[in-house]
């Protein structure tokens, strides 16, 4: 499926990649509780606030899909699809 010119599968791939990496991320005290930007199935950066993570993602990934997710146990998905701006 394609929405706003971006394949929707990429979003799900990023969510799945985050979930698979979450146990490892939780063991890192520098990342626990931070907001991470996930793009192309990789954690690209971490930030103290959602706003900072979002600003970074928008500035660095203008034509692709990414998610912003908080590194916490039993995390509810907090994601952001760039083309929806």
Residue that is written with structure tokens 């930007």 in the block: 37
Residue 12 has a pLDDT of 87
Residue 10 has a pLDDT of 83
pLDDT digits (tens, 9 = 90+) for 2-29: 444 455 678 889 999 999 999 999 999 9
Whole-structure pTM value: 0.77
What's the chain's average pLDDT?
82
The first and second tokens of residue 78, run together, are 């907090």
What residue ranges do the domains of the chain occupy? 2-84
Residue that is written with structure tokens 């979930």 in the block: 19
Residue that is written with structure tokens 């990496």 in the block: 21
Contact 34, 70 (CB under 8 A): yes
């Amino acid at each position: 499926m394609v929405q706003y010119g971006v394949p929707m599968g990429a979003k799900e791939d990023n969510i799945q990649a985050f979930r698979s990496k979450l146990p490892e991320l939780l063991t890192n005290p520098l990342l626990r509780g931070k907001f991470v930007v996930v793009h192309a199935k990789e954690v690209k950066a971490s930030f103290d606030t959602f706003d900072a993570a979002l600003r970074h993602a928008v500035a660095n990934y203008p034509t692709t899909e990414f998610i912003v997710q908080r590194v916490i146990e039993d995390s509810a998905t907090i994601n952001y699809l760039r083309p929806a701006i």
